[in-house]
Structure formats: C-alpha cells, structure tokens
Amino acid sequence: MTRALLLVDVQNDFTEGGALGVVGGAEVARRISGLLASEGDAYDVIVASRDWHDADSHNGGHFATDEPPNFTSTWPVHCVAGTTGAEYHPDLALGSVDVHVFKGQGKPSYSAFEGSTDDGLPLREVLASNEVTNIDIAGIATDYCVRASALDAIAAGLKVRILTGFVAGVAPGTSNAALNELSDAGAELS
C-alpha cells in the first residue's frame, strides 16, 4: 500500500480576504501545516493542487465577464496565474510537498485530477507512477474542488479518506451534502 496526501487549492483567493474567500480557509492552512509537521512522514507522496487560471480570457466561461456570477458555474475572477491570489496561503508549509499540480489554465476545472504538473504530467499519472493505492484529501472548498477531486480519486480506484478537520467549505449545507455524497460513494470520513 502506497499512501498519498492531496492538498486541494489552499490558496489566497480561497481564504479569508480573497476573491472567493471561504471562512476557515486560513485555519485549514495552519492545520495542514501542523499535520505535515507531525505526520508528513506517513505519506509516500504529498501533492498540492492550485487553480491557475489564464489572465487574458474568461477561462472557458468559468469567469463571469458579461453578467454577474451565478456561483455555480460562473465565478468572479480568481486565482489568476502569477498573482498573489493564486499563490498558496502563507500559513501553508510547503517543504513536504513533493508535487505541484496546476488546474484551470483556460478552462473550468474543479478536480485536481484535471490538472497537471509543470512538466505536463496529469495527477493520475503522478499517482500511478508512485503506485498510490490510498489517498487522504484535505483543502478548500469541501463542496466544490475537494468534492470533485475525491470523486475522481474514487473513480480512479483509489481508497479515499477525507480529513474532515482539514477542509473548509463555501456553505455548511452544501459542504455537509458533499461529505455525505462522498461517504455514499465509498470515501472514509475521518
């Protein structure tokens, strides 16, 4: 059994004060850093994903440009490549991260499995090359990118555990629904 940790989108724009700030996002960054300090060695590979959207486009309709965002499929401009908003939250300790995955890049992306490394290697291949069978998932937002990443991990045949003390969601109702959906799909909630 090879075990991975996936840190989903712990970025400035998804924490308090960001373009799509989630309440509790900064605390998630701090908690994950504590987890990495105390248990990081338990993981064979640690991956961090980031939204990394193009500055000069609406990113396949992901950014609301002509009408107000509906906060379901269209969003305010966020996590534009190279901006402060796209950077990892400063309280997230990155020293243990082995692989960085970028998603978006001109199109809507929620799952880290839609992203790739700087070398163009998709996350699925990163995990396969490391013979990952089990994956723990933490990050932001429970009801969107954490949910989508976990569902794709399950679909890829991985044993998935959501670290519920290390996630933050947009809203309590949709976050609880996402966790219930993930549990029903076979993820362990821990």
For residue 109, the 8-state DSSP code is -
pLDDT tens for the chain, residues 1 to 190 = 799 999 999 999 999 999 999 999 999 999 999 999 999 999 999 999 999 987 877 778 777 888 888 888 887 889 999 999 999 999 999 999 999 999 988 777 899 999 999 999 999 999 999 999 999 999 999 999 999 999 999 999 999 999 999 999 999 999 999 999 999 999 999 9
Dihedral of the CA atoms 115, 117, 119, 125 (nearest 10)? -70
Residue 89, pLDDT score: 98
C-alpha separations of 63 from 58, 96, 104, 113, 152 in Å:
5, 32, 11, 20, 23
Which of 67, 64, 85 shows the shortest CA–CA distance to 76? 64
Dihedral of the CA atoms 40, 45, 50, 56 (nearest 10)? 150
Q: Which amino acid is at 185?
A: A
Residue 140, pLDDT score: 98
Q: CA-based angle 59:65:71, to the nearest 5?
A: 80
Tokens at 77, concatenated: 């401009």
Q: Which amino acid is at 111?
A: S
Helix crossing, 147-155 with 172-185: angle to 10°? 10
Active site members? 9, 103, 145
Residue 168, pLDDT score: 98
The whole-model pTM stands at 0.95
**From the centroid of its chain, how far is CA 177?**
18
Which of 170, 97, 187, 98 shows the shortest CA–CA distance to 136? 187
Give helix then strand counts, H and E, for the chain.
Answer: 4, 6
Instruction: Tell me if the bond preceding 141 is cis, omega within 30° of 0.
Output: yes
